[in-house]
Every structure is written in C-alpha cells, then in structure tokens.
A and B are shown apart, each in its own frame.
Chain A
Amino acid sequence: MARVIVDVMLKPEILDPQGQAIARALPRLGFSGVSDVRQGKRFEVEIEGPADEAALSDVRKMAETLLANTVIEDFTVHIES
C-alpha cells in the first residue's frame, strides 16, 4: 500500500478568481504581507502495490486523462512519505 499525491493547479496565466477572493479576505482577518494566493486541488490516490515507477506512471496517466484538464491546469505527482 502506498499513497501517491497529485497536486493540480490552474496554469499561471489562467485567472484564479477564487484565489483572488481569498487573498482579499486575508488582510481583513489580520494576515498581512500576503502578495498572492492561488487555489488548487490535491488528490490522494491509494494504490494496492508499491509506489514503483510503473505505478507512478499510471498515476501520471490518470492525472493527464481525468484529474487535471491540461488545457488550463498543471499537475505534479509525488509519493507521500
């Protein structure tokens, strides 16, 4: 059993109005010094076998096919230690 994490973020050039709304709310709550916030998604994929290269390659394929829309989003894949 292993857990593979897929992080999905809107590409930098894609406007993120949710992140902007969060960034605007922070100073009101007393958090200063924040210049920007971007909001993304995190997927925790539990795999049955070991997190070897074949498994990671499968997860990358899942990310490309379904978890992320690569037209507007980038993703990264890593094993949770």
Chain B
Amino acid sequence: MSAARVGVVTFPGTLDDQDAARAVRLAGAEAVPLWHAERDLKGVDAVFLPGGFSYGDYLRCGAISRFAPLMEEIVPAARAGLPVLGTCNGFQILCEAHLLPGALTRNQGLHYVCRDQRIRVENADTAWTAEFERGQEIVLPVKHGEGRYVADAETIEALESEGRVVFRYAGGNPNGSLNDIAGITSEAGNVVGLMPHPEHAVEELTGAPSVDGRGFFTSILKNLVNA
C-alpha cells in the first residue's frame, strides 16, 4: 500500500515546518507541504501544524493564521475527524480556531523559556499518542514565550474529567500553565495540541534530549493504517 500522507502547514513566519516534515518522513510517511494561502488539503490523511511565529505573533499568537484560506479547509475537516496535531504556535492556532478550548497566554515568569522538559503522558488513546503508555514520562524540548494554558474553571473541569488533558509538565512547570497542562485533545481525540516539540526530538544526531518525539508519528501512522 502507498505511504500515509501527512500534510505539513507553512504560514508566513512558520519555523519548524522542515523539522516537522523530516520527522514525518523518518516515521515512514510522506510529508506533503501545505501552503497557508491555498484552499487545498491535497487529499492528506492527517495534518501537522508546526511551530514558529506565524504572522510575527501580531495581535495574538495564531490570531491571524486562524483566518488563512487553508484553515477554512482544515477546520471543517478536523471537525469531521481528520487527525490534526499542533505544536507550539500550531497549538496556539488550534485554540484561536476553536478546534481546541482555552487559550495560550504570556508565560507567568514573562521570560521566553527554552529547555528540555519532562512531560507525562496522561492520555494514550488519541490519534497522536497511541504508541505511548498512560503515565509514561518523556522528554521534549520546549521553546516559547506564550505557553501558559488558560481556560475557565468549567472547561478545565471538563478537560480533566473527560481525560482530555493529554500531556502534563513534570519536574517543574515552565510557564504557569493551569494544572500543569502541556497539551490537550478534542472531544473526539483526533485533534491534539501541545506546547512541547516532538518534531525536535526524533534524531540523536541533532542533539535532541531524546527520540521520544517519534512516538507521535508512529502513533499517527498506525492510526492511519488501521483506519
């Protein structure tokens, strides 16, 4: 059978799209470049929104990207079940697009934080985390200035009780995120957003703190093959 095709989105100011495409290819899938200005998902099986500073983070992180022509295709497709992963700026865009609840705000300590971060997997049933085990700790790089996850008390309560907190920071919260939340998923489990960067933790050669990021891509491949 032909390889699964994972779309990697580039907005003006996206930085991590090449690493994202490389991570997708390392896992054995085809990385399909998707351009923000085109209304064409090119028939991909899943979409990866990588990090960076789309539109210079003007107004709010992800606020302008959310209205890109490509997003008008991604939003209904995601609501219909297309697996979508957003990391860092990608997570911010997913929240601004209301595919995920809540918002990412300025780090509590006001500093940009760049470090290797321990993260606990809280939900290993999503399209992007099935290759992990619940309670497993992984190490991924974080690098962001606006990663403090906030939502109203009701939303937090719902996320917690429905098991939709997918990742939690372990060994110290880098940004003041509520309940140490590092990543969440949609009700259906197909959309996942997180601040840490799995695409930067797939190869020893790059000085990554681990290769734990590979699990995201092997998870989605398995999910697509079994679909």
Contacts and interface: CB of A to CB of B under 8 A. Distances in A.
Interface residues of A, number: 12
A17 B148 CA distance: 11
A72 B105 contact: yes
Interface string A40-76: 0000000000000000000000000011010110000
Interface string A1-28: 0000000001001110110010000000
Contacts of B67: 66
B150 A14 contact: yes
A10 B60 CA distance: 12
Interface residues of B, number: 21
Main secondary structure of the interface of B (DSSP, over half): loop
Contacts of B150: 14-15, 72
Contacts, number: 35
B225 interface: no
Given A66-B63, A69-B63, A69-B96, A17 B152 contact: no
Contacts of B106: 17-18
Contacts of A15: 105, 108, 148, 150, 176
Contacts of A72: 103, 105, 150
A18 B110 contact: yes
B108 A17 contact: yes
Interface string B163-185: 00000000000001000000000
B107 A17 contact: yes
B151 interface: yes
Interface in B100-138: 101-103, 105-110
B67 to A, nearest CB: 7
A69 B152 contact: no
B78 to A, nearest CB: 18
B227 interface: no
A18 B101 CA distance: 23
Given A21-B110, A66-B59, A69-B60, 18 more contacts: A10-B105, A15-B108, A15-B148, A17-B107, A17-B110, A17-B176, A18-B110, A66-B63, A66-B64, A69-B103, A71-B95, A71-B101, A71-B102, A71-B103, A71-B151, A72-B103, A72-B105, A72-B150
22 contacts: A13-B152, A14-B105, A14-B150, A15-B105, A15-B148, A15-B176, A17-B106, A17-B108, A17-B110, A18-B110, A21-B110, A66-B59, A66-B64, A69-B60, A69-B63, A71-B95, A71-B101, A71-B102, A71-B103, A71-B151, A72-B103, A72-B105
**9 closest cross-chain pairs (CB), A and B:** A72-B103, A71-B103, A17-B108, A17-B110, A69-B103, A17-B106, A69-B60, A14-B150, A21-B110
Interface of B: 59-60, 63-64, 67, 95-96, 101-103, 105-110, 148, 150-152, 176
Interface of A: 10, 13-15, 17-18, 21, 66-67, 69, 71-72
